[in-house]
Amino acid sequence: MKVGKGYNLLTGDALPSPAVTGTLSPVQMSGGQQVVSQIRRIEDLETLHTSLGVSVDAGGSYMGFSASAKVDFVGESNFTQYSTYLLVKVSVSNAVLTFDDPVLTDEAVLLVQNGDSPRFRERFGDCFFSGIVRGGEYFAIVEISGSDVKEREETAVAIEAAYDGLVASASLSVDIKTKKEHSKSNLNVSINVFQQGSVSTTDQDIGSIMAKAKGFPPSVAGDLAYPYALVIEEYRALRLPSDAFNPLDIENQRQVLLDLARRRFEFITLQNDIRHVLTSPEDFTDPDVAALKASYDEVVAAVNQMQKEASACTRDPGRCQFTVFDTSKFPLPDLRPGAPVPTTVTAPALVGQTLAWAQATCTRLGLGVDQYPTSGPDDHSDGVAWQEVLSDWTDQDGVFHSRIGEEHVRVTWQQQPAGTDVSAGSNMIITIDPA
């Protein structure tokens, strides 16, 4: 794929004909590195795709060179509701090269002047590649499986603490090995890695994953940078030879395909869930094997039907229609009594994280959050309670203040130590300050 070529949003295909030409130069003030480094829980397949930069709607601003390879990478995880998933993500952008003054090629200009929208889209798609991103990216999907919910959660919290530097990565590898050896719930931790740029060693244990994530940005700096993503832009952004020319409206097609993609994610997860139950029936209460096998066949048929409808919609807008696909028709057995939902949960490591991340993490664990300014819960020196600062407010002198977003506030202290047991449904006590 090269800068200047067209791109078909509906099929995700890069087209062979150059659509746009021009000179490339670095974006002004784009020197240095922009690094995104995080570990996050993954609750569903769509979130996993978008976190990797493989958007369900290809109309996003970036598209990786190896989009198909990333899709294969996601498929290797066999996502189910019976495992806990963590994604370690490091994305590094050193510089972005973009067109200075892009113009359509002569062939594209001729189609625009003739008002031939169908042929234009056939040759050049809906968008064009307007720039290239150099740097690299590193992803590791950590799957924690086992029938004991609490055991999985404790392992996940320990891995998150290691990523945040609160626990030594080397000792974590030993601790996980010990947990697996003594587990009575078939605890297992598996890792899948995807990397673009600076491929040197294969990392398959938690300690190596953490070390690689920390040291990845320097390994793709300067001349070591790898061209890993392209910038996508619509043709409407260009000065077109004819103001009367309108690219084909594909919004309805995009909406139908987006709905099909999301339903497909749900059914693929259900397919993996049923396979898991059939593979480990001892972890579930009275599984009806015959009924589950019949459901599995129906789910596979539904996934195949979605693929057929998506292909038909892509080729012909007149065949795009919303179809009902409902996962609730396929009940699954409950986990066996030996794996109950715990009455206690493991306190997450919140210090250093944003308030938005802390709130989302605690909500997921069934915990509340009581936040106070760093100087203490009784500090009202600015004339307003801290909770009010998280929304627009007016001080005692009548001066209006805009809210400080939760994403710009960080946790500086937590009362319940990370890794300790706290009662399910209780509140984490934290202090916070603007980042």
Largest CA distance in the chain: 73
**Per-residue pLDDT tens over the stretch 95-128:** 788 888 888 999 988 888 888 888 888 898 888 9
Banded pLDDT at 405 (limits 50, 70, 90): low
Asked whether residue 310 is domain-assigned, the answer is: yes
Residue 366 domain boundaries: 344-434
Asked whether residue 338 is domain-assigned, the answer is: no
Q: Are residues 115 and 205 in the same domain?
A: yes
Q: Are residues 231 and 188 in the same domain?
A: yes
Q: Which of the listed ranges 197-206, 225-234, 236-245, 301-310 does the model predict with the highest average pLDDT? A: 301-310
The separation between CA 421 and the C-alpha centre of its own chain, rounded to angstroms, equals: 29
- In one-letter notation, the amino acid at residue 75 is G
Q: What is the pTM of this model?
A: 0.67
Asked whether residue 370 is domain-assigned, the answer is: yes
Q: Are residues 256 and 360 in the same domain?
A: no
Asked whether residue 403 is domain-assigned, the answer is: yes
Q: What is the mean pLDDT of residues 423-434?
A: 86
Whether 380 has a pLDDT exceeding 60, the answer reads no
Higher pLDDT, 353 or 397: 353
Q: Are residues 109 and 146 in the same domain?
A: yes
Task: Label residue 46 exposed, middle or buried (CB < 10 Å: 0-12, 13-18, 19+).
Answer: middle
Q: Are residues 260 and 230 in the same domain?
A: no
Question: How far is the CA of 220 from the CAs of 1, 73, 197, 202, 204, in angstroms?
Answer: 21, 21, 6, 16, 21
**Per-residue pLDDT tens over the stretch 256-290:** 888 888 888 899 999 999 999 999 998 899 999 99
Banded pLDDT at 58 (limits 50, 70, 90): very low
Q: Are residues 353 and 282 in the same domain?
A: no
Q: Are residues 23 and 151 in the same domain?
A: yes
Q: Are residues 289 and 390 in the same domain?
A: no
Contacts with 232 (C-beta within 8 Å, 6 or more apart), sequence order:
7, 58, 59, 60, 61, 62, 63, 127, 128, 129, 130
Q: Are residues 281 and 398 in the same domain?
A: no
What's the confidence (pLDDT) of residue 387? 47
Q: Are residues 131 and 23 in the same domain?
A: yes
Q: Are residues 226 and 258 in the same domain?
A: no
**Per-residue pLDDT tens over the stretch 137-176:** 999 999 999 888 888 888 898 888 888 775 566 677 777 8
Q: Are residues 160 and 26 in the same domain?
A: yes
Asked whether residue 246 is domain-assigned, the answer is: no
